[in-house]
């Protein structure tokens, strides 16, 4: 599980320069950007914060995200 302290400082790497890039924990294993909708998986308690990874899931509805996320 990702700590609350870490969640408070993490930001979407694609949005952080121009917007807030706030991330919300969804389905206990995904971080969803409130600005762009990119979704970053949490694998083995490690958020995968690569823009390319977020791009893969941007069009997937939160309810349709696989739990647990697929391993890289």
**Which CATH number fits the domain that encloses residue 33?**
2.20.25
DSSP element (H, E) containing 56: helix 51-56
CB atoms within 10 A of CB 15: 20
* Average pLDDT of the segment spanning 37-55: 96
Contact (CB, 8 A) for 58 and 39: yes
Q: Tell me the residue range of the domain where 31 lies.
A: 4-63
Question: CA quadruple 39, 62, 4, 22: dihedral positive or negative?
Answer: positive
pLDDT tens column, 14-35 = 999 999 999 999 999 999 999 9
The predicted structure's pLDDT at residue 72: 65
**Considering only CA atoms, which of 55, 22, 28 is closest in space to residue 39?**
55
20 in any annotated domain: yes
Evaluate if residue 1 carries a pLDDT over 80. Answer: no
Q: CA–CA separation, 43 vs 60, rounded Å?
A: 18
Please tell me the total count of domains within the chain: 1
pTM of the predicted model, to two decimals? 0.92
């Amino acid at each position: 599980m990702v700590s609350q302290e870490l969640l408070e400082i993490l930001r979407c790497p694609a949005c952080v320069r121009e917007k807030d890039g706030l991330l919300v924990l969804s389905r206990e294993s995904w971080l969803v950007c409130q600005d762009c909708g990119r979704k970053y998986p949490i694998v083995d308690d490690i958020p995968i914060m690569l823009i390319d990874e977020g791009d893969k899931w941007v069009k997937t509805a939160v309810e349709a995200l696989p739990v647990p996320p697929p391993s890289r």
